[in-house]
């Protein structure tokens, strides 16, 4: 049998960087045994207090009349459980004073699905035959966006300004002088905090991006997977932001429920209605279990205190320990920089002048049982494949046990040192 896939099928079914890496990581974990140091994924840590809360809620669902039925045996409307949606709207209206209601909220089957829907709803081939793209005001940006355009070539990105701080400290800034919103731009999109770097766009940067989007009559999409008010993995001052032209996405994954595949979108009603329609077509309904687990925690506000008092301090301590371990491992005998850690679960390491590519470094580390993500995968949508910076960076997760992170960083330092010698 000889099959010819559609253009849609060719774009989504031919493989991708993220698929190849996850497949590689999965095989390495399966064959590598307990000595594998998994510093390459986005798996959140298993926080004992948080896991105890999920167990408590599952027990409550089993004891509540009809609780387990609501969670497991009934379809919700395509846009999400009505009580859950109302609770989300109330939470953001009461906490931040945003003028939103249930018409501004939709649930999707995870944040990744939300972006697949949003990008292809807004960008791609338009009814008049023209082509529109998503503008990324700063790369590196989340690798999971890269292959989501069903027609390919979905992004235009702007390389950042690089601001050096201390001897081994740097931060990316949006290069607003190079940022142009041309007629082919359908939306502006940025994650806050940014995966992979932990960068948090300042309030001024977010306001500037919002003004640009409003001026050109397009949405600003803010990926809040690690942000406020939940899971709240931010270590710097930042104000949650929403306006009627803004699409804000959230998730239950990084609060500790990645297996429930629960994404949340707050946005203009016309976009929310379209997401409900897309959910119905693609999957009839969205998973209910995550919504039912956290529903009373959203209504009571306990989810906010959990994020503030447990999740954020847990990751901030782990981040500090990982940065200290990096400083001890890398020393001063070659040039290295660590992006300022303002949130999320990652260290972003830059080795200026690295004699090998980050992809080759990845292979050398994998051979020693350390799994990271080579940085070039996060620099998509811009037009300079020869820019050396994108091949000099790696992403390292610090969500694993401290001993694993510390040992992994030691091995990374050894391999980078060998490359420079």
pLDDT in tens, 390-418: 999 999 999 999 999 999 999 999 999 99
Contact 347, 326 (CB under 8 A): yes
The whole-number pLDDT of residue 235 equals 97
Assign residue 92 a region (left: φ > 0; alpha: ψ between -120 and 50; beta: otherwise): alpha
Query: Is residue 14 scored above 80 in pLDDT?
Result: no
Query: Is residue 15 scored above 90 in pLDDT?
Result: no
The whole-number pLDDT of residue 4 equals 81
What's the pLDDT band for 21 if we cut at 50, 70, 90? low
Is 49 in a helix, a strand, or coil? helix
How many other C-beta atoms lie within 10 A of the C-beta of residue 95? 13
Higher pLDDT residue, 73 or 184?
184
Query: Is residue 31 scored above 70 in pLDDT?
Result: no
pLDDT tens-place string over residues 199-251: 999 999 999 999 999 999 999 999 999 999 999 999 999 999 999 999 999 99
The whole-number pLDDT of residue 12 equals 76
Query: Is residue 53 scored above 70 in pLDDT?
Result: yes
In angstroms, the CA 359 to CA 136 distance is: 23
Query: Is residue 33 scored above 80 in pLDDT?
Result: no
In angstroms, the CA 82 to CA 421 distance is: 61
The whole-number pLDDT of residue 28 equals 63
The whole-number pLDDT of residue 99 equals 95
In angstroms, the CA 398 to CA 410 distance is: 13
Residue 328 DSSP one-character state: H
Q: Which residues of 102-132 are buried (b: 16+ CB within 10 A; e: fewer)?
A: bebbbbbbbbbbbbbbbbbbbbbeeeeeeeb
Is 147 in a helix, a strand, or coil? coil
Contact 371, 397 (CB under 8 A): no
Q: What is the mean pLDDT of residues 50-55?
A: 96
pLDDT tens-place string over residues 329-363: 999 989 999 999 999 999 999 999 999 999 999 99
**Tokens 């081994």 belong to which residue?**
168
Q: Indicate the average pLDDT of the chain.
A: 93
Query: Is residue 11 scored above 80 in pLDDT?
Result: no
Q: Is the torsion defined by CA of 125, 128, 129, 130 positive or negative?
A: negative
pLDDT tens-place string over residues 309-335: 999 999 999 999 999 999 999 999 899
Map out the domains of the chain with their CATH numbers: 7-49+306-420 (3.40.640.10), 75-301 (3.40.640.10)
The whole-number pLDDT of residue 274 equals 96
Query: Is residue 20 scored above 70 in pLDDT?
Result: no
Contact 70, 292 (CB under 8 A): yes
The whole-number pLDDT of residue 25 equals 65
The whole-number pLDDT of residue 400 equals 93
pLDDT tens-place string over residues 267-290: 999 999 999 999 999 998 999 999
Share of the chain above pLDDT 90, in %: 82
In angstroms, the CA 288 to CA 239 distance is: 30
């Amino acid at each position: 049998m000889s099959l010819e896939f559609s253009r849609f099928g060719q774009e989504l079914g031919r493989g991708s960087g993220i698929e190849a890496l996850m497949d590689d990581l999965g095989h390495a974990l399966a064959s590598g045994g307990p000595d594998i140091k998994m510093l390459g994924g986005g798996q959140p840590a298993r926080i004992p207090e948080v896991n105890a809360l999920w167990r408590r809620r599952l027990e409550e669902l089993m004891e509540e009349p009809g609780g387990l039925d609501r969670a497991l045996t009934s379809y919700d409307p395509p846009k999400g459980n009505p009580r859950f949606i109302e609770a989300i709207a109330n939470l953001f209206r009461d906490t931040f004073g945003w003028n939103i209601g249930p018409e501004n909220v939709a649930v999707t089957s995870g944040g990744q699905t939300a972006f697949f829907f949003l990008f292809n709803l807004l960008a791609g081939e338009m009814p008049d035959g023209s082509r529109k793209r998503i503008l990324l005001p700063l790369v590196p940006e989340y690798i999971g966006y890269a292959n989501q355009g069903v027609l390919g070539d979905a992004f235009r990105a702007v390389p950042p300004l690089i601001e050096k701080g201390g001897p081994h400290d740097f931060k990316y800034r949006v290069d607003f002088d190079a940022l142009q919103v041309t007629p082919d731009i359908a939306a502006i999109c940025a994650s806050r905090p940014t995966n992979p770097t932990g960068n948090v766009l300042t309030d001024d940067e977010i306001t500037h991006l919002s003004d640009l989007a409003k001026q050109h009559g397009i949405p600003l999409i803010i990926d809040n997977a690690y942000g406020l008010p939940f899971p709240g993995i931010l270590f710097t001052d930042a104000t949650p932001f929403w306006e009627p032209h803004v699409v804000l996405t959230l998730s239950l994954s990084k609060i500790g429920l990645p297996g429930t595949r629960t994404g949340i979108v707050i946005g203009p009603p016309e976009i929310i209605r379209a997401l409900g329609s897309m959910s119905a077509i693609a999957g009839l309904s969205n998973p209910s279990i995550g919504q039912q687990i956290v529903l009373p925690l959203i209504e009571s506000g306990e989810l906010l205190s959990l994020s503030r008092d447990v999740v954020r301090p847990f990751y901030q301590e782990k981040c500090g320990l990982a940065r200290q371990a990096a400083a001890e491992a890398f020393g001063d005998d070659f040039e290295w920089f660590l992006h300022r850690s303002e949130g999320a679960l990652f260290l972003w390491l830059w080795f200026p002048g690295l004699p090998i590519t980050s992809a080759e470094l990845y292979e050398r580390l994998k051979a020693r049982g350390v799994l990271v993500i080579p940085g070039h995968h996060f620099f998509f949508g811009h037009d300079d494949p020869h820019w050396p910076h994108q091949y000099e960076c790696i992403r390292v997760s610090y969500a694993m046990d401290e001993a694993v992170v510390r040992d992994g960083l030691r091995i990374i330092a050894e391999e980078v040192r060998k490359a420079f010698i």
